[in-house]
Copies of this chain bind each other. A is one copy, B any other.
Amino acid sequence: MFSELDENEMDKIYSHSSIKTYDKGEMIFFDTEPYIGFYIVIEGGVKIFKISKDGREHVIHFIFPTNTFAEAPLFEHYDKIRREEFTYPANSMAIENNTRLMLIRSDIFYNLLEKNKTICFKMLSGLSKKLRHLNNHIESLSQGVSVRLAKYLLDELNSSDEKNKGIIELKISKHDLAAYLGTIDETLSRCLKKLQDNNVIIVKAKRIQILDISTLQKTAIG
């Protein structure tokens, strides 16, 4: 993201931004706190979520290293942010121990953006990616949980290191996965079991082995 900045600019960022380490379960910000800037995940993982009135948690995004989060408000609420009248639009929590984050303060970033086209483009590309992701997510939410689960598993398999062996190491807890799939722990558990009973997958804690991709693909279609 900052690959095209000169030394001066990098110095400016470093001197004004802080790197902090969080433990699993530690809150990064609440949706009641004033917005002070966005974050870059250096190590670990973060979930972005909201809590509905009935107490249910809804995960909107998982963010892993080299990606940013909470950057969208920068462009929509310029004035309010300057006046420190704006709060974060959701909550965020570290989901791994030793999650290292860099905070980029909004005032610093506004200056930078003025002068650097590349950053602007990178931001645009990042936002577009999230937008596409949410588009897909919305579409799938009106299908059954097993469809959503199958899609998730196939996505993970594609981005997995152990792709060839057909193994997925879940980076997130089952609870977070349920909240991300728009359901509850029990339902997720039952869906996983159903897949296991049909010899499509084998679940062992956070390790999921895919036995039958084609059935999984058929499930994902709906």
The complex is assembled from copies of this chain, and their number is 2
Say yes or no: B135 contacts A60, CB within 8 Å: yes
Given A73-B128, A121-B75, are A52 and B90 also a contact pair (CB < 8 Å)? no
Of the candidate stretches A4-12, A137-145, A158-166, the one touching chain B is A137-145
Question: When the two chains form the complex, which single residue of B54, B76, B120, B121 contacts A128, counting CB atoms closer than 8 Å?
Answer: B76
Chain B residues with CB under 8 A of A127: 72, 75, 124, 127-128, 131
Let me know if A114 is at the binding interface, CB within 8 A: yes
- Secondary structure type dominating chain A contacts: helix
B52 pairs with A124, CB closer than 8 A? no
Residues of A within 8 A of B (CB): 50, 52-54, 56, 58, 60, 72-76, 89-90, 113-114, 117, 120-121, 123-125, 127-132, 134-135, 137-139, 141-143, 182-183, 221-222
**With A121-B75, A222-B53 given, is the CB distance from A137 to B135 under 8 Å?**
no
10 A-B pairs, CB-CB below 8 angstroms? A60-B135, A75-B121, A75-B125, A75-B128, A76-B132, A89-B132, A89-B135, A120-B121, A127-B131, A131-B134
Chain B residues with CB below 8 A from A141, complex form:
138, 141-142, 182
Query: For residue A113, which residues in chain B have a CB less than 8 angstroms away from its CB?
Result: 121
Residues of B near A114 (CB, < 8 A) are 117
The minimal Cβ–Cβ distance linking A56 to chain B, given in whole angstroms, is 7
What residue in chain B is nearest A120 (Cβ atoms)? B120
